[in-house]
Amino acid sequence: MANATGEVPGAFPPGIGMTTTMSPFIERAQAKGEVYIEQPYDLYSEENHETWRRLYARMLPRWEKYGNEHFLQGIANLCLNPDRVPRLEDVNQFLSPLTGFRAKAVSGYVPAFQFFDCLRNRDFPTTITVRHGDKIDYLPEPDIFHDIAGHVPMHTDKAFAETLVRFGDCAHTAAELAKGVTDPEERIRRLTSVIKAMARFFWFTIEFGLMKDRSGTGYKAYGSGLLSSFGELEHCIESPEVQRYPVQLEWVVNQYFEIDHYQPLLFVVDSFDHLFSLVDELEGWMRKGKLDNVSPGEPGVGEADLRSFLHD
Ligand SMILES: [Fe+2]
């Protein structure tokens, strides 16, 4: 409730900023344990909007050159404002009628099971902070540019959207299988392996996937990590240093990755129907126990992620 001067107690002044790792609004939400939040649009600073504008403007020509056609269609469908940080509400007005997906604001990290479960419900946990204007090239954390300009355009595509939902089904299967293992130590060991396999699959497809282009001889990016990185988007297509191989499930689930440099190895799908069939296969492998012993290495699987799969 507003006080006599019209201020809401505990509210932050408009324009205070929603910069990654520097936002008092996000810090407060995290301290209160609030994961799903509102997007406090008034708190974005002019510097935040300017960062968005710079990111979008320099990315556009690279998207046109290296982005998958479904992504470009998605960018057109979403009608993002190149000059202002997007309002999730506006994005959803264009997105939801197409595939039922919605961008859902979060305060930060969402444990793995909840993340995949959101996808199953066609909600996409979306970071709402903007990277610092001095670090527009790279930051380890996701920000609204990665999530809205990198991920969400893909969610306008029906086949891609179904693939994400199917991924959510996989998480449910993983949880169900884990709960069926009676020995607690063995349960954690197997679940760790299954989550690792899922994380690797997600990384090499949704985050860093390539697709054959229309000619069948070249490549276009559909992975959001590529589409939100000015440097890596060109590098992933043009550089002779990048290995590009047709996707193989047995390879992907056993392949470790590192997040702090350009990816030296990328996998190529033929289409999103192809990608969907691979997620189907992933679930089949899970049920057969074929993901219970994937090769060790990155990514690590934390306590919170394990716990998220074992909740009731
Ligand atoms: Fe991402």
Identify the CATH number of the domain in which residue 143 sits: 1.10.800.10
Q: How confident is the model at residue 9, as a pLDDT?
A: 54
Is 55 part of a structural domain of the chain? yes
CB half-sphere exposure, 17, CA atoms < 13 A:
13
> In the predicted model, what is the mean pLDDT of residues 99-120?
97
* Residue 6 falls inside a structural domain: no
Rounded CA-CA distance 161/272 in Å is: 9
As a whole number, mean pLDDT of residues 296-312 equals 93
Residue labelled with tokens 């299954």: 194
Which pLDDT belongs to residue 260?
87
- Rounded distance, CA 19 to CA 144, Å? 10
Whether residue 239 lies inside any domain: the answer is yes
CA 180 / ligand 1 centre spacing (Å) = 31
What is the residue-averaged pLDDT of the chain?
95
Q: Of the listed 23, 151, 193, 224, which one is catalytic?
A: 151
Which residue range forms the structural domain that includes residue 297? 41-310
Q: Give the model's confidence band at 135: pLDDT under 50 very low, under 70 low, under 90 confident, else very high.
A: confident
Give the integer Cα–Cα distance in Å for 228 and 208: 10
Q: Is 151 a catalytic residue?
A: yes
Residue 216's pLDDT is: 83
Q: Does 175 reside within a domain? A: yes
Checking if the pLDDT of 292 tops 50, the result is: yes
Residue 5 has pLDDT above 70, yes or no: no
Q: Report which of 181, 166, 179 is spatially closest to residue 281, judged by C-alpha positions.
A: 166
pLDDT in tens, 257-282: 998 899 999 999 999 999 999 999 99
Q: Does residue 95 carry a pLDDT above 50?
A: yes
Side-chain half-sphere exposure of 83, counting CA atoms within 13 A: 0
> How many residues does the structure list for the chain?
312
In angstroms, rounded to a whole number, what is the distance separating the alpha carbons of residues 188 and 179?
10
Question: Do the domain assignments include residue 16?
Answer: no
Backbone angles phi, psi at 132, to 5 degrees: -65, 140
Q: Which of 70, 155, 207, 308 is catalytic?
A: 207
CA-to-CA separations, 244 to 87, 171, 204, 256, 297, in angstroms, rounded: 36, 28, 11, 16, 21
- Concerning whether 228 is annotated as a catalytic residue, the answer is yes
Instruction: Please tell me the predicted confidence (pLDDT) of residue 140.
Output: 77
Give 7-30 pLDDT, tens digit per residue: 555 689 999 999 999 999 999 999
**CA 4 to ligand 1 centroid distance, Å:** 44
Tell me which residues have their CB within 5 A of the ion that is ligand 1: 224
Domain count, the chain: 1
* DSSP 8-state symbol, 129: -
- The one-letter amino acid code at 256 reads Y
∠ CA 187-189-192 to the nearest 5 degrees?
105
Question: Is residue 43 within 8 Å of residue 128, measured between CB atoms?
Answer: no
Separation CA 171–CA 165 (nearest Å): 10
Distance between CA atoms of 174 and 113, rounded to whole angstroms? 9
**Which H or E run contains 233?**
helix 230-238
Of the residues 146, 155, 229, 232, only one is catalytic, namely: 146
The answer to whether the CB of 45 falls within 8 A of the CB of 18 is yes
Burial 139-156 (b: 16+ CB within 10 A, else e): eeebbbbbbbbbbbbbbb
Residue (of 263, 202, 269) closest to 232 by Cα position: 263
**pLDDT tens for each residue of 181-221:** 999 999 999 999 999 999 999 999 999 999 999 888 899 99
Q: What's the pLDDT tens digit per position in 211-261?
A: 999 888 899 999 999 999 999 999 999 999 999 999 999 999 999 999 889
Mean pLDDT to the nearest integer, 281-296: 98
pLDDT at residue 175 tops 50:
yes
Give me the pLDDT at residue 10, please: 67
Model-level pTM greater than 0.85?
A: yes
* Cα-to-centroid distance, 142 and ligand 1 (Å): 6
DSSP string for 72-116: HHHHHHHT--TTSPPPHHHHHHHHHHHHS-EEEEESS---HHHHH
Average pLDDT over every residue of 124-129:
98
For residue 139, how far is its CA from the centre of ligand 1 (angstroms)? Answer: 12
Question: What's the gap in Å between 178 CA and the centre of ligand 1?
Answer: 26
Q: Count CA atoms closer than 13 A to 174's CA, side-chain side.
A: 36
Interatomic CA distance for residues 310 and 192, integer angstroms: 12
Residue 155 among the catalytic residues: no
pLDDT of residue 136: 86
In a domain, 14, yes or no: no
Percent of the chain clearing pLDDT 70 (strictly above): 96
For the stretch 25-77, pLDDT in tens is 999 999 999 999 999 999 999 999 999 999 999 999 999 999 999 999 999 99
Looking at the predicted structure, is the pLDDT value of residue 2 above 90? no
